Structure 1
Amino acid sequence: MNAPHSPTAHAVNADVLSPSTPAADLVAVVIPSYKVTRHILGVIAAIGPEVGRIYVVDDRCPDGSGAFVREHCRDPRVVVLEHAENQGVGGAVMTGYRAAIADGAKVMVKLDGDGQMDGSLIPAFVAPILAGEADYTKGNRFFNLERISSMPPLRLFGNAVLSLMTKLSSGYWDLFDPTNGYTAIHADAARFLPFDKISKRYFFESDMLFRLNILGAVVTDVPMDAVYGDEVSNLKISKVVTEFFAKHVRNFGKRLFYNYYLRNMSLASLELPLGVLLTLFGTVYGLSHWIASAHSDVATPAGTVMLAALPVIMGVQLILAFLAYDIASVPRHPLHKRTRFKRKED
């Protein structure tokens, strides 16, 4: 493995990372930079010695944040990367991932540059990955119920709705707060991701979960508190509702096809289509006879009612059975432990 170009070389023998454990050969931080010049120096300063490399990706920032960091930041761990064209947060993160992997990083942490994410939590995000318990970790701002009140009501409602949609589309039923951008990933898992296909804009976090599920990667939530200051969000709720819904439907269909028909077949592969067909048949049949009965003012026979109700009941039961199977199929065995590469040390 090519050693990262860090200011100091360290040896790490512990499986679990702590703030006092140097890890220049292990951990890199990727910071997408777009209109965050007011906060980014403070974000970098809060990153502890457990991180050996910091990649600041200037995503064609109109404020010139890349040049700003070069001029004012003296941290030797910082590398500034610049895009010729704006690619969105996902595009910036992918650029950082590629650079970190090329430099030999083992774990890559994505940290926003707007000051909402506490850099002191990096060890908590990295520890499950180094311990071999997860391939990908993400923040969950809903864990501490006492602190949820600090979240704006609109964001609170939006995250609840998006969490439900993400559970369906990604297959990670045990996760919450899908739009949380505080994440960490093992390099061996990241290598399998189709970087060029992952959404580059605000759907990036949700699309990452979909891609990780297709790979069978283990994803774990990490409790954290939300921090809201004077940062300005570029995310428009009205746009998210329509754009995210369409993309979640697309990913849900792809996941079903990949996991239940293309790569594997099981009883659940039959339960879902049969359940949908029976439910639709019973609904359409029942509604058509109900409308005809209303127009003719003649009561619908009991046999006709039963013929409409039974398919609906059976169809709903089959759909619920499929959902139970899907929930139980959340990946449990880390991908990077199953596909660990043997690298030659320089």
Structure 2
Amino acid sequence: MRIAVAIPCYKVTQHVLGVIAAIGPEVHTIYAIDDACPEGSGRFIGAHNQDSRVKVLFNPENRGVGGAIVTAYKAAIADGMDIVVKIDGDGQMNPTLLPQFVRPLLRGEADYTKGNRFFRPESVQGMPPVRLFGNAVLSFMTKLSCGYWNIMDPTNGYTAARTCVLAELPLERLEKRYFFETDMLFRLNTLRAVVKDIPMDSVYADEESNLQIGIVLPEFLRKHAARLWRRYVYNYLVRDFNVGSLYSLFGTLLVLSGSVFGSVHWLSSTNSNHPATSGTVMLAALPIMIGIQCLIAFLHYDVSNIPTEPLSRSISNHLPMSPEV
């Protein structure tokens, strides 16, 4: 199995050589992607790097972390790599953890692995409270929109993927910037790919994040809502029609009909100064209560509908029985 590492390079000249040096011999190729870096990261690596495994790729314009990783994914697929591990070039992702990310892919247990900084209580002790709260909120939103209820820390960029699965994705349509990791999970869910969390510790230096919450929050909410709707239509109406579809449709219909019926009679009783009868109240409340129960049943069905059969088993012709990593 040929393993590659993708390192997005944007203002990382102080750390990237150390990251490359820490990558173990199990890796066949290292892609360093200069994402139109103003510091000339690609030229810097080419001039100072001594590792023959490194291939420097250049994006003609800044495409964000997603655009840089897509460039590496395409190169890995073209070069016949089997697995691509994404590690940032700023030194905050420990390259020695790479075997833990690759092992489930080698064993055929998953199609995609990602880091989880919330797995152990000790791992979050150094995390700033604002980031801790923000990641918890983003995790829940991602569970809703992407359907992977078994994962946490969706913004974690330490990932590993099978290239045979990546080849099935519309790579050009992936989000290019901050929403890349979430959009990747959404696309993987449409393929029914298996995603597994890998415990890791959080590392924070004194750098300031470029993510401005006030600007990206409305965009994130809009994109999460759009993907939730698209996932529902595709999984429960287009590709399949199952008991979850019935729960959701009947639940929504009952809640809406009960709400409309109750609102109409409430306005009528308010205008006429005649209180509604107990029977009228029950006719409004009962559909709402039954509808809420149906929607809860749908949510339970969705939570239990997580992909469990790795996609790579059906599209790959070989898997090692006793991996070395």
The alignment's TM-score, normalised by the length of structure 1, stands at: 0.88
Residue from 107, 113, 131 that aligns with 1:155: 131
Residues 1:191 and 2:162 are matched in the alignment: no
CA distance change for structure 1 residues 284 and 39 in 2, over 3 Å: closer, same or farther? farther
Of the candidates 13, 25, 42, which is equivalent to residue 37 of structure 1?
13
Matches of 1:63 and 1:304 in 2, distance apart? 71
Letter in 2 for 1:103: D
Contact conserved, 1:188 with 1:341, CA < 8 A, in 2? no
Q: Distance in 1 between matches of 2:218 and 2:144?
A: 16
Structure 1 unaligned residues grouped into runs of 5+: 1-24
Match of 1:49 among 25, 37, 41: 25
Shift of 1:135: 0.3
* Equivalent in the alignment of 2:245: 269
Does 1:109 pair with 2:85?
yes
Residue 10 of structure 1 corresponds to none
The unaligned stretches of length 5 or more in structure 2 are 319-325
The aligned counterpart of 1:92 is: 68
Q: Does residue 198 of structure 2 align to residue 228 of structure 1?
A: no
Q: Aligned residues, how many?
A: 318
CA deviations over 1:155-212 (Å, ceiling 9, x no partner): 1111111111111111111111111110000111111011011111110000010100
Change (3 A) 1:149 1:293: farther
Q: TM-score under structure 2 normalisation?
A: 0.94
Alignment match of 1:209 (pick from 185, 210, 219): 185
Could you tell me which residue of structure 2 aligns to residue 19 of structure 1?
Answer: none
Say which of 39, 44, 51 aligns to 1:75: 51
RMSD: 1.5
What displacement does 1:296 show?
A: 4.7
1:337 maps onto 2:304 in alignment: no
- Which residue type is aligned with residue 198 of structure 2? V
Q: 4+ residue runs of structure 1 moved beyond 2 angstroms?
A: 230-233, 283-300
Q: Take 1:183 and 1:287, find their aligned partners in 2: how far apart are those partners?
A: 50
1:31-82 deviations in Å (ceiling 9; x for gaps): 1111222221221122111211110101111111111111121111111100
8 Å contact from structure 1 (residues 90, 204) kept in 2:
yes
1:112-123 paired onto structure 2 within 5 Å:
112-123=88-99
Deviation string, structure 1 residues 233-267 (Cα, Å, up to 9, x no partner): 22221223111111111111111111112111112
Identity among equivalent pairs (%): 56
- Counterparts of 1:287 and 1:257 in 2: how far apart (Å)? 29
Q: State which of 180, 196, 200 in structure 1 corresponds to 2:176.
A: 200
User: Could you tell which deviates more after superposition, 207-216 or 279-288?
Assistant: 279-288
Counterpart of 1:157, as a letter, is F
For structure 1, which segment, 259-268 or 288-297, has the greater mean C-alpha deviation from structure 2 after superposition?
288-297
1:203-232 CA-to-partner distances (Å, cap 9, x unmatched) read: 000001010010010000000001001333
Moved more, 251-260 or 124-133: 251-260
Q: What code does the residue aligned with 1:183 have?
A: T
Query: In the alignment, which residue of structure 2 is the partner of 1:167?
Result: 143
Give the match for residue 64 of structure 1. 40
Counterpart in the other structure of 1:300: 276
Residue equivalent to 1:6: none
1:280-337 Cα deviation digits (max 9, x unpaired): 2222332443344455543321111111111111111111111111111110000010
CA gap 1:230/1:71 in 2 versus in 1, 3 angstroms: farther
Distance in 2 separating the partners of 1:67 and 1:301 = 79
Q: Which moved more, 1:132-141 or 1:153-162?
A: 153-162
Q: CA–CA distance in 2 between the matches of 1:305 and 1:35?
A: 64
Of residues 41-50 and 163-172 in structure 1, the stretch that sits farther from structure 2 once superposed is 41-50
Equivalent position of 1:21 in the other structure: none
Paired with 1:190 and 1:341, the residues of 2 have a C-alpha distance of 16
Does structure 1 conserve the Cα–Cα contact (< 8 Å) formed by 2:123 and 2:200?
no
CA contact (8 A) 1:56 1:79 kept: yes
- Matching residue's letter, 1:215: L
CA separation in 2, counterparts of 1:275 and 1:244? 27
The whole-number CA distance in structure 2 between the counterparts of 1:338 and 1:260 is 23
Asked if 2 retains the 8 angstrom alpha-carbon contact of 1:114 and 1:231, the reply is no
